[in-house]
Every structure is written in structure tokens, then in C-alpha cells.
Amino acid sequence: MKTLKRSLGLLKRKLGRMVEIKAGILLHQPVAAREGAGIPGAQLARASVYRPDLDYSKDEFTRRNLRQNDLYELLVDRRPVCFGWVARAGARVGILHDIQMTVPDRAFYIWDCVTPPEYRGRGYFQSLLKQLVSSRDTGANLALVAVDTRNTASRKALAKAGFQPLFSYLSIRVLGRVVLAVANRGHRLSQAQILFDQLA
């Protein structure tokens, strides 16, 4: 019985590497100054200079900055408790597999957000999101974010922060090659890349 379980586990892992199915949701929210956005006393700061305590190498930090991305931190008692990257208008970002998006004019795209384990469950991610969409510094009027449909914690935080679904998308990759990438907006299916291109 153990041998059968081990064999089935190995087969499942091999199939998982051969066929990858992922789905996500693109969400949006208008950017506007709001009173009481986030946790009282928490401050939003742009990390404009690399520090060794960041979760990224210096090369990765520099590469992302050169590609029109800025790292924002949520500070509580001057300690960073949550991080999120923001791609500015015109930046080209990868969404899923081969799907790409050019961030539209007067918009920004939030991605690769991280809350260290010791700070999770305190609403810091939600506060980071709220402060980003109420910031006057960006000069944008629309915030965009994509989330994996299986990431229930992030989906809840995004909903509490006021983000609404724009459309959903699905991509299937077999042996490293995308065989299907579709999006659903208003019960109408289309090629995912076409729908993302229409945003620019």
C-alpha cells in the first residue's frame, strides 16, 4: 500500500509539472483621498534606496526600479510591517504565464505584496492597500491588482480594501507552453491577452 501511495504521489507531481492550470481575477478601484485610510499611526513610505533587510537582492531591486516599479512599505512605529510593489503607468508587467499588461495612463498596478509571518493577521496588508489608493503622490486615478483565485486571504483583504472585480482569466500551460489563455468579462469569453491589451 505504501508503494502504491508513493507511486501515485510521484505521478501526481510529474503531471503537475507537465500541466499547469492557473486562474486569477483582475480587480480595480478608483484612487481618491480618504480620511482614516488604514491603521491609525501606520505610515506609507516609498523605499527609494536599497537596504540589506529587504526581501530582494540589490540587483532585483534595481532591475524593478528601472522598469518603472516602486517599492512601498507600511511602517508601524518606524518598522516595516508590509511591502508592495507598484508599477507606474506605461510599465509592462507579467500577469500569468505569457499574459502581459501595459499599465494604463493615470493608473498604477499593485503586485508582489508581502507581509512577514510575524506581522500577519493584523490587517497590515489591507492598510497598505488603503493607503496606496488614497495617496496623492501617485498622480493616478485608478488602482489595479491581480490575485490568484486560490489565494483566499488576499482576496478577502482586497475586498475589504474596496477593490472590485474587473474580469477573471484562466491560463493552461502544457510542458511549458501555453495552450489556452482566456478571460471572462460580463459573461463574454475572449482571449486573455486581447482583454489586457484593451486596458492600455
Confidence at residue 134, expressed as pLDDT on a 0 to 100 scale: 87
CATH code: domain of residue 43: 3.40.630.30
Residue 15 C-alpha from the chain's centroid: 27
Please check the confidence at residue 175 and state whether its pLDDT lies above 70: yes
**Residue 147 domain-assigned (yes or no):** yes
* Domain carrying residue 48: 28-165
**Residue 134 domain-assigned (yes or no):** yes
**Residue 38 domain-assigned (yes or no):** yes
Mean pLDDT of all residues in 24-47? 85
**Residue 111 domain-assigned (yes or no):** yes
**Residue 113 domain-assigned (yes or no):** yes
Please check the confidence at residue 12 and state whether its pLDDT lies above 90: no
Mean pLDDT of all residues in 11-27? 81
Confidence at residue 99, expressed as pLDDT on a 0 to 100 scale: 96
If pLDDT is split at 50, 70 and 90, which confidence band does 23 have?
very high
**Residue 141 domain-assigned (yes or no):** yes
Give the model confidence (pLDDT) of 125-134 as tens digits.
999 999 999 8
In the chain, what percentage of residues exceed pLDDT 90?
Answer: 73
Split into its structural domains, the chain has a count of 1
